[in-house]
Amino acid sequence: MTLQETLEIQIKKAIQSLYHADLETVEFQATRKEFEGDITVVVFPMLRVVKGNPVQIGEAIGNYLVEQVAEVSKFNVVKGFLNLVLSDAYFLDFFNEVGDFSNFGKVLGSEETIMVEYSSPNTNKPLHLGHVRNILLGYSVAEILKASGKKSYKTQIINDRGIHICKSMLAWKKYGNGETPESTGLKGDKLVGNYYVKFNDVYKEEIAQLILEGLSEKEAKTKAPSLLEAQQMLLKWEAGDEEVVGLWKKMNDWVYAGFEETYTSLGVDFDTLYYESNTYLLGKEVVQFGLDKGVFKRKEDGSVWCDLTDEGLDEKIVLRSDGTAVYMTQDIGTAIQRVKDYPDITGMIYTVGNEQDYHFKVLFLILKKLGYNWAEHLFHLSYGMVDLPSGKMKSREGTVVDADDLIADMAATAKKISEELGKIDDFSEAEKESLYQTIGLGALKYYILKVDPKKRILFNPEESVDFQGNTGPFIQYTYARIQSILRKANTTKLLNDGSLSIVEIHPKEKELLKQLQLFPETIAQAAAQYSPALIANYTYELVKLFNSFYQNVSIFGADNDTEKNFRVQLSQAVSDVIKTAFSLLGISVPERM
């Protein structure tokens, strides 16, 4: 039984004993920082069953709890809020019971299995900053779900077909002179991306020329020779033309190799991959099933629609009059296929930008109408775009921030700041480069993940690598500081055997213990809300409290060995939780900085 459950039982008994009334629920909240206390009971809701002055009622309950609950040492009442002060013994018991904090916060498995889709790029360009937010969010949510006891599968659907892919293929065929990643020294995804930009440069020139010849802009855009050629290439691909399919395979393989290199740099992985070229026809067989169930209706021109107007949405086409599928049809089919492939799936999370909010409302509703029970457990992890101080990125204009360049720039910024601090002069060159990569990636990941997914981000690389404030490097630096303390204590891993007993805990130690207690609950909340930001900001609060403890309490100048041992072990516990929390964000922590 948790302390809160014990308190609730005793408070109900107090109300019964003191006022002969029955209380259904007790409302708790964290004690505000300006007041003394560890947990607060809100008295105001009790006035529904107990008549009287809320301050007097709080005083009466407080006295009752001090007598009946050993963990409550004293209390104070501020207006209608009863602030309970818990005993030092309670916090020490918690610390002794956990003992080893290296896996603290993680729980054993449940029956839930969630598939998390993220990244899902097009194979006509390299990954960019927008993809980075998507990838980091999806990966972190999958890790947090696992820590909360659920099983998670990481997946992506690679958009490897369509007119966009044919644009880069056509441009390479016409202007590439047979160059390859090997001959140019470029990553394959960058090489292909350059030809996507090249296509659009030529396309814009053709549009301008057609407008000069008297066509409207709308007509020019549809009649530009390059676009017509790309459309023809797409038709040939769909017909299985050997030459076009061969070129498609070759260029896609270049891109896949490039993507894998970027994923490795980011430290993310996938359990399974789906390819649009394999899935784009999947939903067509579901259309007849939907027609038979009366979920879909066929119109006079042969097209098939789903009427969602009763649900406040519109009509959605699922099959064109010429019998071709649309993206919605494909997504319906892919979702069904995933459940066939992984029968233990109980839910799916789609990590996709908020411009697709409507699409996923429709998708989930159609799947529910088709009668799939698991459709009740689909979630769109909708996130805001990432902007730069220079403005919005555009792939076709070649103005995106390339993910690889960004990773390299972050490491370079970390190098510059680290050298200015001058604390790693005794590192080897290899150690320095590894550290710069760890700090740079930590800065990037933390800066993006500390923000609620729904919010738009203005990404500032210099600000993210600051060694002060709510940043990844600040937290990494604190972790490294604790490792230095542990080395000085001549231990790499202190295990609490449960026998520590301190007469009095310092207020700064108590603050740390209270924050450590919150970690399992924070993981559970982050999993429930699909929000890595909760983990990030919890860790920042923990680090701030540790630094305050470090500045105000002498670890090695303790009055006795027991006290010193406790403070070293408390530092160890904090570093363990930092490491665990950061692992859920996909961030590494350095032993030295």
User: What burial class does residue 76 get, using C-beta atoms within 10 Å of its C-beta: 0-12 exposed, 13-18 middle, 19+ buried?
Assistant: middle
Answer yes or no: are the C-beta atoms of 319 and 285 closer than 8 Å. Answer: no
**Rg over CA atoms, the chain:** 30
pLDDT-flagged residues of the chain (< 50): 392-398, 492
The pLDDT score that the predictor gives to residue 396 is: 46
- Output the pLDDT for position 499: 65
- Segment (H or E) for 414: helix 403-421
Give me the domains of the chain, ranges plus CATH numbers: 3-86 (3.30.1360.70), 162-269 (no CATH)
Query: What pLDDT, on a 0 to 100 scale, did the predictor assign at position 395?
Result: 44
Backbone phi, psi, residue 193, to 5°: -60, -35
Q: What is the pLDDT of residue 390?
A: 64
* Whole-number pLDDT of residue 416: 86
Residue 286 pLDDT: 92
Q: Which residues pair with 379 in a beta bridge?
A: 349
Helix (H) / strand (E) element for 445: namely helix 429-449
Exposed / middle / buried, residue 14 (Cβ in 10 Å: 0-12, 13-18, 19+): buried
Tell me whether strands 347-353 and 113-117 are parallel, antiparallel or unpaired: parallel
| Mean per-residue pLDDT of the chain | 93
Per-residue confidence (pLDDT) for residue 398, from 0 to 100 = 47
Give the per-residue pLDDT at 393.
44
Q: Amino acid identity, residue 158?
A: I
Taking CA 365 as the corner, what is the angle to CA 363 and CA 368, rounded to the nearest 5 degrees?
110
Query: Quick one: angle between helices 327-341 and 284-293, nearest 10?
Result: 90
**3-class state of residue 231 by DSSP:** helix
